[in-house]
Structure 1
Amino acid sequence: MRLAIGLLAICCFLPAPGQAQNLIGADLLAGCESVVASDQAGTDDLYPVQAIKTGYCLGTLQGITTSVLVAQGDGFAPHICYPAAGVRIRDLATVTVDFLRRNPQLASQDAALLATPALMNAYPCAARP
């Protein structure tokens, strides 16, 4: 009985999944800046201090890109239109960094919601009739 009460007490102090802290725009900016810096240095080495944020940047951009390609393959009209020659993920990081630097008021917003408008502005689709 004491064990059950002890476990219950411990569980009360663990964060619930809905309480997880999302990364914010400032985190996305820091991670994508790391990607851009390594590209400018001509290396694939990413700054280890920013490893989680860098991974978040790369994962977010890859996820958006994959979603766009899957949606197009399923016949949906895209909101982001990459050049036919394609783009490098590091180019997407540069676009995201530029967008976030131009919009510092977004630094405290949920990072997952910020990369999409950055890419939509950089790679707009032609107007549809």
Structure 2
Amino acid sequence: FLRREDADIIIANRTRSRAEEVAREFSGRVVGLDEVAGLDLDVIVNCTPLGMKGFPSQLPVDPVVFRPGQVVMDVIYNPERTPFLTEAEGRGCKTIPGREMLIYQAMDAFEAWTGQRPSYEVMAEAVRKEQ
């Protein structure tokens, strides 16, 4: 989707070689983690374990990167509200918890196996019951 929309995809990772690998796959560009705070970003997605139950609760980026109106997503779904999302929300960002990703992945898997698209509400309720 992002390639079709001609989005500028920026990848930052602790391991530069891994960032370069992902950037090649998605036609993105690599920046150092220390450079993220100086960028004007519309969407930020945290794919680190920071904030997940059992991991450090530190933020993966400097919070100065957050600005009102940005979309900020965390792929972590336990806990639902991570320090990353809490900080972003406090700075006026629209936040998307990892639970949303989990629900849509489950919907896609169900459809792949059965050929039928399940209801979002049914899948969301199943996730809520398990958390």
TM-score of the alignment, normalized to the shorter chain, above 0.5: no
- For normalisation by structure 2, the TM-score amounts to 0.28
- Greater strand proportion: 2
CA radius of gyration, larger in: 1
- Greater helix proportion: 1
- For normalisation by structure 1, the TM-score amounts to 0.29
